[in-house]
Chain A
Amino acid sequence: MKINLGVEICGVKFKNPIIAASGTYGFGREYNEFYPISILGGISTKGTTLKPRLGNPTPRIAETPSGILNAVGLQNPGVEHFIEYDLPFLKESGTNIIANVAGSTLADYEEIAERLNGLVDMIELNISCPNVKEGGVAFGIKPESVQNVTEKVKARLTKTPLMVKLSPNVASISDNAKAAENGGADCISLINTLTGMAIDLERRKPILANVTGGMSGPAVKPIALRMVWEACKAVKIPVIGLGGISNYRDVLEFMLVGASAVQVGTANFSNPLVIPEILEGLENYMIKNGIDDIRDIVGKINI
């Protein structure tokens, strides 16, 4: 039986629906030591800003039941370093490159979008990072603001499709999904992390130096799944699902509620080989269940 894992999202062909999630995978070099990253459908790169950022003080991570909190704070080498040093490596790897970009001001977002226009396969707009004081999630909470930043960035992207990454820390995920669509997003991805906190009881202090952080991992999966389902009902553009995906079954669940593709993030920390294992699991599942095209699963939930 010949199996198709390929999907097409706003004109970009992916060899399979598995994308490495931003912030968990660097620019691909480290995991390329475990397996060739060419097997990925795509890679969403570490959130990149115009200028280099040092990020937050440590500790930047805390483990919580079936999850983690992180407060890295967008440490990155800046867009010029990305273009010069990381982009050639990623191009060579042969996977789709989704550049995740962030900024402190609207002008930052516009400028970085213009700089990367035509250089990558897709831009993922990060308006949902909970770990930086300025920008980030500030643009991603109110629907009007989501629409506004999406419009401004879209206007600069004459060659590259735009994916808008939504925050779950909002009043209505459907409203924000629609706002991104109305702003001209070619597709959306969700969920970014949920804001959380962890305490060291003995020292009576927060574990994270940043006090709060973004929660991810299997613990958030039911929330993510519900939000992806709601977003899929709210918009006509493709939806990329993420949040706690750690095996092939999770992937299929997100696709059943309507996701065209998924991102795998925190699971890479637990198991560096999780992505190749997911791909193998998907193929085996499809063979066993007589499904020859992964696209036939999308949105096929029975309610």
Chain B
Amino acid sequence: MKETKVIIEKNSEVADSIYEATLLLDEPAQDIWAGKFLNVSVGDGSHILKRPFGISDYDAKGEKVKFCYQVRGEGTEKLSKLKCGTELMATLPLGNGFLLDKNWKKIAILAGGMGVCPFGGMGKSYPDKHFVAYLGFRNKKAECLTKRISRFADLRIVYDDEPLENAKNAVELFLNEYESENFDAILCCGPKPMFRALKNAIENRKIDIPCFVSLEERMGCGVGACLVCVCKQAKAEGNVRVCKDGPVFPISEVEL
């Protein structure tokens, strides 16, 4: 984790209001792997908070990172207008990321919408594992987000506006295949209702393999000091910090 100057190498719209940015790091970061995030300034002094984004890809030397973002408010709007060569400040890598057991061979990825982005670097972080990705998007426009994950995972996709006969969303898609696939673990990133549906399914179907969720929350410092981005623990009293203790948690340990 360090604070470094970064230069925008690329920042372009890949779908309707969805952008992909590539940053060149002034100081290389050694400890990046899939599921970690960065906190990046938006190049305008009146927006004093950095914005947290899941790292969607990185190079082996730790000199370059990519992330995707959707324009949702003023900060992402400002970010989307920045030209190549613009200098920003970033703190990275942050969070725990996806930590996979070496004995796990086959992993199910469940992602909804922008939730697919943090999985982009999975193939690099874990080249010898077999990934099957169950993805749900609002419509076909978001298909560009599957480019990176398609390089290392088998894809099953469902669109909200074209539901399949046997599956309306990614969780249902996964459940249809779960029993025949022999997964060792499940990783999920998406909106809260998706987490809840998965949690219910795990309980109802007595799915007993490890399952992890990558959470999103409005953040302050991004490094664990300010206690803004907390989530209640499901089994114990107290909160966990999404930025520092997470963003990846066992699904059974957090209140969703």
Contacts and interface: CB of A to CB of B under 8 A. Distances in A.
Interface of A: 23-26, 29-31, 33-34, 46, 52, 54-55, 58-63, 65-68, 70, 72, 75, 77, 217-218, 266, 268-273
B225 A268 contact: yes
A61 B228 contact: yes
A209 to B, nearest CB: 10
Interface residues of B, number: 33
Interface of B: 1-3, 41, 45-50, 75, 89, 91, 217-232, 237-239, 244
Nearest to A208: B218
Nearest to A265: B226
15 contacts: A30-B225, A34-B3, A34-B223, A46-B227, A58-B228, A58-B230, A61-B228, A63-B47, A63-B48, A63-B75, A70-B220, A75-B227, A217-B48, A268-B221, A269-B221
B218 A58 contact: yes
B239 A61 contact: no
Given A24-B226, A34-B2, 12 more contacts: A24-B220, A30-B244, A58-B230, A63-B47, A65-B46, A70-B220, A77-B238, A218-B45, A266-B48, A270-B48, A270-B50, A272-B223
A52 B238 contact: yes
A96 to B, nearest CB: 18
B50 A31 contact: no
Q: Of residues A25, A26, A218, A272, which shows the largest number of chain B Cβ atoms within 10 Å of its Cβ?
A: A272
Give the dominant DSSP class at B's interface: loop
A272 B91 contact: yes
A60 B221 contact: no
B49 A72 contact: no
Given A26-B226, A54-B238, A75-B239, A68 B3 contact: no
Contacts of A218: 45, 48
Contact of B45 (A29, A34, A62, A66): A66
Contact of A30 (B46, B75, B221, B230): B221
A65 B74 CA distance: 10
A60 B49 contact: no
A78 to B, nearest CB: 11
Contacts of A25: 225
Contacts of A66: 45-46, 48
Contacts of B224: 26, 29-30
B227 A55 contact: yes
Sorted nearest first, the 3 A-B pairs with minimum C-beta distance are: A26-B225, A30-B225, A61-B228
A25 B89 CA distance: 20
